[in-house]
Amino acid sequence: MWRDLAPIGRHADSGGYRRYAWTGADGECREWFREQAEARGLGYEADRNGNQWAWLGDPLAGDAVVTGSHLDSVPDGGAFDGPLGVVSSFAALDELRRRGAQFTRPFAITNFGDEEGARFGLACVGSRLAAGQLTAEKARLLRDGDGVPLPRAMEAAGHDPDTLGPDPERLARIGAFVELHVEQGRALDLSGDPVGVASAIWPHGRWRFDFRGEANHAGTTRLADRRDPMLTYAETVLAARREARLAGGLATFGKVAVEPNGVNAIPSLVRGWLDARAADQATLDAVVDGVERAAREHAERAGTDLDVVRESFTPVVEFQHALRDEICRVLGKRGPDEAGRTVPVLGTGAGHDAGILSASVPTAMLFVRNPTGISHSPAEHAAEDDCMAGVIALADVLEGLACS
């Protein structure tokens, strides 16, 4: 499976993945998913929001155990963020069949659409739509960097955008959702464990800062006469770092667009996107308020204008305790390792479909050790032994939940 996926959407120069929602590379990944489902005799379907499902047992019976993740990527993303969860789900099913496990609950593997939001700016579009956290009207207004509306992109990829919308009946038929994911930090590396269980996801969001000034000639406009939004932007980037450090959160400007984007012109517009996260809401508010206040103060001094728009927000997610405890019990039952450890429980600052679904469905996550912690980068990695430990842990968990 890993070999099949490896070349899809891989950029020759960077070695990173560019699997953006509803593009050709995404379509190849989706086709791969359908083939994996069919090769195992699973019932395949794409739901009204374009999420893919592979069913063992009756999808309508209710109380299903579902596992999966996503196959799309950030710009120049790594191979593991998303695909590790989907591949491990199929591999865990293969392992359960090898064990001769008898399923007593319906079981499904999913690939949620557009998890990263790399193309249309909003993360977890497929799961947000299904959970009713994004309306079809708002989704239809999303556009990519070239101005292509989401409905047109979906249609071009063969999915009918008229069906978009909440899917409460589908979610009500899920008794438990478990997402396995590569860890995007070094907690497991530091604790020396191949696999961990998630406790919570930090609240996080994306804010668009539009800094407007006056376009003018770089070679003839006196410094004193300039209204340069790039300066306000630069001050704001520094403020983001400072506010995050002081409050104990995280703040990142990782994407910027400049107009007219000419080397010899003072810009008229600098548009920067702030990604901010923190362990709790009060800290997140302090970071974002502090960045906006600093940006406004500088704009005032520099004669530039500023608009701030919150483009997305996900509140803190505390994964369901009963399911988490059950998973810890199943994994703990295997006994401590040579060092006497059972399974570590850890929080994360990364967003996931599991976080979105947790508002509607009992949800849990497993993390697989990432030796460097690097993610959203071609350097993202997990060792093969750890990936296999993840598959076995997932199989154990699914067996505990779905099999007699």
Binding site for Mn ion (CB under 5 A): 81-82
How far is Cα 364 from Cα 31, in angstroms, rounded to an integer? 27
Helix (H, G, I), strand (E, B) or coil at 137: helix
Nearer to ligand GLV, 44 or 273 (CB): 273
Query: Should residue 368 be labelled a site residue for ligand GLV when binding is judged by CB under 6 A?
Result: no
Q: Name which of 198, 229, 234, 376 is nearest 303 in CA terms.
A: 229
Cis peptide before 315 (omega within 30 of 0): no
399 binds, among Mn ion, ligand GLV, none (CB under 5 to 8 A by kind): none
Give the nearest distance from C-beta 350 to ligand GLV in angstroms.
4
How far the first Cα of the chain sits from its last, in Å, is: 28
144 binds, among ligand GLV, Mn ion, none (CB under 5 to 8 A by kind): none
106 binds, among ligand GLV, Mn ion, none (CB under 5 to 8 A by kind): none
How far is Cα 362 from Cα 344, in angstroms, rounded to an integer? 20
The count of residues interacting with ligand GLV (CB under 6 A) is: 4
Helix (H, G, I), strand (E, B) or coil at 32: helix
Give the nearest distance from C-beta 123 to ligand GLV in angstroms.
6
Residue found by looking up tokens 């990519």 in the block: 144
Shortest Cβ contact with ligand GLV: which residue?
351
Nearer to ligand GLV, 351 or 362 (CB): 351
How far is Cα 259 from Cα 261, in angstroms, rounded to an integer? 5
Length of the chain: 404
Nearer to Mn ion, 101 or 374 (CB): 374
Contacts of 187 (CB under 8 A, 6+ apart): 196, 344, 346, 367
Instruction: Classify burial at 320, counting beta carbons within 10 Å of its beta carbon; exposed 0-12, middle 13-18, buried 19 or more.
Output: middle
Residue found by looking up tokens 């020759």 in the block: 12
For residue 273, the cross-strand partners are 208, 255
User: What mask, x for binding ligand GLV by CB under 6 A, covers residues 327 to 366?
Assistant: -----------------------xx---------------
Give the nearest distance from C-beta 232 to Mn ion in angstroms.
30
351 binds, among ligand GLV, Mn ion, none (CB under 5 to 8 A by kind): ligand GLV
Helix (H, G, I), strand (E, B) or coil at 217: strand
Nearer to ligand GLV, 194 or 351 (CB): 351
- Of 25, 109, 123, 365, the one binding ligand GLV (CB under 6 A) is 123
82 binds, among ligand GLV, Mn ion, none (CB under 5 to 8 A by kind): Mn ion
Nearer to ligand GLV, 230 or 350 (CB): 350
Pairing of strands 195-201, 317-318: antiparallel
Give the nearest distance from C-beta 84 to Mn ion in angstroms.
9
Q: Name which of 163, 165, 140, 166 is nearest 153 in CA terms.
A: 140
Nearer to ligand GLV, 324 or 352 (CB): 352
Give the nearest distance from C-beta 105 to ligand GLV in angstroms.
29
Pairing of strands 195-201, 204-212: unpaired
Give the nearest distance from C-beta 127 to ligand GLV in angstroms.
12
Give the nearest distance from C-beta 299 to Mn ion in angstroms.
32
- Binding residues for ligand GLV, per CB under 6 A? 116, 123, 350-351
